Structures are given as structure tokens and as C-alpha cells.
Amino acid sequence: MAFDSASFLETLTQRAGVYQMFDEGAELIYVGKARNLKKRVSSYFRARGLNNKTVALVSRIHSIEVIVTSNETEALLLEQTLIKKHRPQYNILLKDDKSYPFIHVSEHKFPLLSYKRGQRSKKGRYYGPYPNAGAVKESLNYLQKLFLIRNCEDSYFRNRSRACLQYQIKRCSGPCVGHINEQDYQQDIRKAEMFLQGKSDELVVSLEKQMEQWSADLEFEKAAQARDQVLYLRKLQEKQYVSADGGEADAWAAAINKDILAVQRISVRKGAVVNSKSYFPDNKLDASAAEIMYEVMAQYYLGDKPMAGIPGDLLVELEAEDAETLTQAIMELTSRTVKWTPKPRAERRKWLQMAQENASQSSLARANQKNAHFNRFLAAQEMLGLAEIPHRIECFDISHSKGESTVASCVVSDIIGVRKDLYRRFNIRDVAGGDDYAAIHQAVYRHFARLKEKQQQEPENNQVYPGILLIDGAQGQVNKAQQALHELGIADVYILGISKGETRKSGWEFLWEQGAATPIMPDSHDPGFLLLQEVRDEAHRFAITGHRKQRAKARVSSGLEGIPGIGPKRRRELLRYFGSMNAIKGASIDEITKVTGINQELAKDIYAAFNGEL
């Protein structure tokens, strides 16, 4: 039954609040907030002036629920809570920062400084997140030069009998072999952490005092080392742009080029630009750039903890009411004072201009990238004689070692670029080792069974299935993929195989259309053919990576599981202590007994299992 908007709007209040739109399956598809609920919700049901995307949203509405709040600030906070919890289809959704890299300082007598991504599960202190992997590696490089901190893993560190090359080239102080004591090493760690905390000025002062003290004590070698550290730190400070007032601010801007919207955030802490991030949100309802930027800012500050924390000043061109609502919500949520500066001066104006320039450049670069990729898809259409441009390519590949740990990969590329968020791996089950045909059939069947379920949930979506289903293989693999789709009752999916010719050289591949007796042999320089090659190579890389992980996991388990008395807990302790199976295999009985829960008899059994009888 169609939604009776007229009856609903008659009863709607004019107070501030949140509205939730549900489809026929009771799934939440959109959440919004309003100063005046009746006025805002009514705007979705006016007779004219709605864009196509909003019309599509309205056509799916089966019911609307509202939550009245005392003011718009409360409505904004509630809206972001609901978006974070339910992630509605039509709302702008920002990715969290789990993929951002950190620097990790481990909890050891001689701590390790290392690069970390993902969940912060290991004990120790974390610094970051950083804008990209290059920033982390650059920081680690500085710390090695300045303070000679180790960068080797624990399994390597524990088994050293002499100093490695890092010590020889003065990138490490050699704690593994006792070239530095624990107290001095911990002092170097404290200095490194001051550097990571942005306390370079304090660190320089501390080093200068230490240098003078060592000189007075006639410890000239240590004084010279401190002098070199001071000089290096000052060079780093000269390279970094710092303002006179040492302010804290986030500058925001949005720009559109060729229908590509970019929102840019520049984070400034203690006067230095510490982070810059571009966002490319899906504009699902054709909102204005300012509206999208406001939504991005709301999710950034009111959702998960922001990367660079909450600043004291927001530099952004927004409507006054929106800006005041946002800053008030941030202050209520975090108890921090935040002010809005729409027209900053002096240094702050430069930061806002920097954000505006970066937004424009990011938008233009993404638009050019999209255009270039679109042209390659157009070339693929022409090369294959398709009726329309394929909106998405999905490629399957199989990887195994003589039938062991068979893994299938599915990688995705659309007219914008690779879609790593849609990548999938399949651990192949109940298939004879080395049977690539059966593996392709299983992987394609499992993947398209999920897509079919999605199609049933979204019948109006005509892009659930890929425009090209690319299979790494010849006609045999193509037939198995076709059989899987036939069993699922899925038709009209264009299947194409890509196999290397007799020479096995890149550029000499054959393309196998579904049911064709002879292959297509395209020009090796055709952009459409090069696109198919790149997608196939990416599928191959992704499959091999998954296979190696599965194989390593299987070998680790099998290597220890057969030893009597070694259960899950002791296996975990062994791997935690040594770091790898190879390290366990090369360990002596005395070394093995150092592991928690391993006595002399068990150590002998473990040694014998890997090295033969004693």
C-alpha cells in the first residue's frame, strides 16, 4: 500500500526533531534532522521541483517515524547516532579510520617502534593516526636517525648473538647485544615520544641542557651526539610551516568539478599542518556542496573519535544557523569549547585558502581519473562489440599449490576505478585438489547467490550484476561459470575468459566469449584490452595473497598440533614468544623451555618433532 503522505503531514508537529524513513521491508533507508519537522518532511512530497534521486527515495517510503527533540542541537546529535548505528542507504556514510596507520611503541624493556594498521590490540602506546603510510615511514626514519631506536621484530631481536647491519650504519643502538643499557634506551624512547607528540621545542631545550651537562662532565662523545640531534631537529623544524600564534583549527572546504564533489579537511595543531584528508561522498540526493560538507563535518565530529582530535576553531563557510548548531552539538558531546570562524584573517585565512585549493585540486584529479577510466571502459565495449558500456567488471581467479589451500578471488573495477571495498575471497571447500573448473564453479555460485539475494531486495537496481564477468581461464572455466549462473536462474550476464597463449607472455592473451569456438585475439595496445589485463592481474595478485595466508595458517597449525601435550594455549604461547614456525624449528631445547608452560620434557618433544630424535 502506498504511503499516505497527506494524512501523515496533517498530524506532524512543527518542532525540531529527527525523521526516519522506512521501506516496505521495514528497513531504515534515510535519517534526517529538522528545525521544523512539518516544513522539512513536507518538502519531500511537493508536486514539483524534486530531483530524480529524491523522487526515487520518496517512491520507496512505506512509513515515517519522528522523534521530537527540545532543540536542533539535540536533533543533530540524535541524527548522527542513528546514522552510525543503522547506516541508512541514502545517507552520506563516512568510512571510519581503522585503515589509517599508526606508530606503535611496544611494552618491553627495549621497546620497538613499529608501523601498525587496523585495530590497536597490542599493548603499548599508539601515535597517530597519520594521513598516509608515507608519513609514518618518514617519521620512523627520522626517529632512527635521531635516537637509534630498534625496528626489528621481537622474534629477531631475541635471537641475535651479534649486532646487525642497522647498528653498523648507526640506525640502531644495539640493545639486542647489550651495546646500550635499559635506562639509556628508555631515555631515548622518551625523547622519541616527545617528537611524536609534537614537543620538538621542549625536546630541543632538553637536549641542549643535556649537551651542556655532558660537556661539563667531560663526556664529549655524548655531548657531540646531543649536538647532532639538536641540529637535525632544527632542520626538521625549518622544513615545517608554523604560524606565529601556534593555533589549533580545522579548515573545511568543498568543490565540484565535472560532477565530482570533494570535501577537504586541513587539520592544524600548534600552528603546524598535521593532517589533510579528501572525502568523496556519494551525493545520493543531489544536495548542494555546502549541505554535503555540513553532513560530512557532522559525521566526522559527532561520530567516531576524529583523527586529529577536536580543535578550538572551525574555519569554514557555512550558514550561520548550521555552524552554530554544529559547534553547540560538538561542545555538548565533548565538553570542549569550539568556535566558528567564517571569515578568518591572517594565518587562519591561509589555512582556509589551503583547504579550498586542495578541495578543488582533489575534485579535479578525481574527475580526470574517472574520465580516463571511463574511456578505457568505452574502449572495452567497442573491442567486444557490447550494446552498452559495462558499468562494472568482476574478475575471478584461482590460486593453490598442487591443490593445497585453494582460494578464489573476486576483484572489482568500475568506471571510477578499482573498488577494493567490493573485493571478495572464497576458501574453496569439498573440491578435489587442483580442480580449477570445480573451484570456479563454487566461487561464482557463492558470489552470485549473494548478488541474487541483493537483487531481490532491490528490484529497481539494474546494476547489481556486473557488466562483464571476467574469468581467468579459457572456455572450460567460462563454461563452469555459465553453469553456476544457470543453476541460480541468472541470465544476461556477459561472461568472458582471458587466458595466456602458447608463449605465456603478457600481451598475447586470448579472450574467450561464452559459447565461442575460437578466441578473440585483440591488439595488445588496445586500451580496453589493457584494462582487462590489469583487472585479471589484480585478481591474480589478490588470489595468491589469500592462498599464501591460508597455506601458512595450515602449516603453522599442522606443525604443532601433532605434538602430544601441545594444546591451543601452548601453541599460542610458542608462536607469541618465537614469532614464527621457522624460529621454533631453529630453537634449541633450552630456548624452548623459556616459553611459559613448556617444561624440559615438552621442549624435547617439540625439538624432536622438528629436528628428528635426540
Residues 387-402 pLDDT 10s:
999 999 999 999 987 7
Domain-located, residue 95: no
List, for residues 483-511, the tens digit of each pLDDT value: 999 999 998 899 999 987 665 566 678 89
For residues 154 and 542, give the distance between their C-alpha atoms in angstroms, rounded to a whole number: 28
Domain-located, residue 50: yes
Domain-located, residue 379: no
- Highest mean pLDDT among 96-110, 208-222, 276-290, 445-459 belongs to 445-459
What's the burial of 561, exposed, middle or buried (CB within 10 Å: 0-12/13-18/19+)? exposed
Q: How many CB atoms lie within 10 A of CB 315?
A: 24
Amino acid, res. 505: K
Domain-located, residue 194: yes
Residues 230 and 255 placed together within one structural domain of the fold: no
Residues 215 and 260 placed together within one structural domain of the fold: no
Q: Which of 501, 516, 550 is the last residue of a domain?
A: 550
For residues 331 and 498, give the distance between their C-alpha atoms in angstroms, rounded to a whole number: 57
Q: Considering its fold, how many domains does the chain have in total?
A: 5
CATH code of the domain containing 599: 1.10.150.20
Residues 324 and 217 placed together within one structural domain of the fold: no
Pick 272 or 148 by higher pLDDT: 148
CATH code of the domain containing 54: 3.40.1440.10
Q: Which residue has the cell 603453522?
A: 556
pLDDT at residue number 263: 92
Domain-located, residue 94: no
Residues 114 and 61 placed together within one structural domain of the fold: no
Domain that holds residue 602: 562-611
Residues 402 and 501 placed together within one structural domain of the fold: yes
For residues 608 and 610, give the distance between their C-alpha atoms in angstroms, rounded to a whole number: 5
State residue 470 phi and psi, 5-degree precision. Answer: -100, 130
- In the predicted model, what is the mean pLDDT of the chain? 83
CATH code of the domain containing 311: 3.30.420
Given a cut of 80, whether residue 71 has pLDDT beyond it is yes
Residues 403 and 504 placed together within one structural domain of the fold: yes
Nearest to 150 by CA among 131, 177, 128, 125: 177
Q: Which of 239, 272, 296 is the last residue of a domain?
A: 239
Give every CB contact of residue 473 below 8 A, 6+ residues apart in sequence.
Answer: 436, 440, 497, 498, 499, 512
How distant, in Å, are the alpha carbons of 211, 372, 446 from that of 367? 54, 9, 34
Evaluate whether 485 touches 444 at the Cβ level (below 8 Å).
yes
Q: Which of 57, 86, 115 is the last residue of a domain?
A: 86
List, for residues 292-316, the tens digit of each pLDDT value: 999 999 988 887 666 657 888 999 9
State residue 296 phi and psi, 5-degree precision. Answer: -65, -45
Nearest to 443 by CA among 413, 482, 410, 491: 410
Secondary structure (H, E, C), 159-192 = CCCCCCHHHHCCCCCCHHHCCCCHHHHHHHHHHH
Read off the pLDDT band of 538 (50, 70, 90).
very high
Amino acid, res. 237: Q
Residues 537 and 597 placed together within one structural domain of the fold: no
Residues 402 and 313 placed together within one structural domain of the fold: no
Is the omega angle on the peptide bond into residue 568 within 30 degrees of 0, that is, cis?
Answer: no
Read off the pLDDT band of 97 (50, 70, 90).
very low
Domain-located, residue 220: yes
Amino acid, res. 290: A
Evaluate whether 431 touches 480 at the Cβ level (below 8 Å).
no
3-class DSSP state of 69: coil
CATH code of the domain containing 537: 3.30.420.340
Residues 484 and 577 placed together within one structural domain of the fold: no
Domain-located, residue 590: yes
Residues 538 and 401 placed together within one structural domain of the fold: yes
The string of DSSP letters for 518-570 reads S-B---TT-HHHHHHHHHHHHHHHHHHHHHHHHHHHHHHHHHHHTSTT--HHH
Residues 163 and 268 placed together within one structural domain of the fold: no
List, for residues 231-247, the tens digit of each pLDDT value: 766 655 444 444 435 57
What's the burial of 388, exposed, middle or buried (CB within 10 Å: 0-12/13-18/19+)? exposed
Domain-located, residue 253: yes
Residues 429 and 304 placed together within one structural domain of the fold: no
In 458-500, alpha helices (H)? 475-488
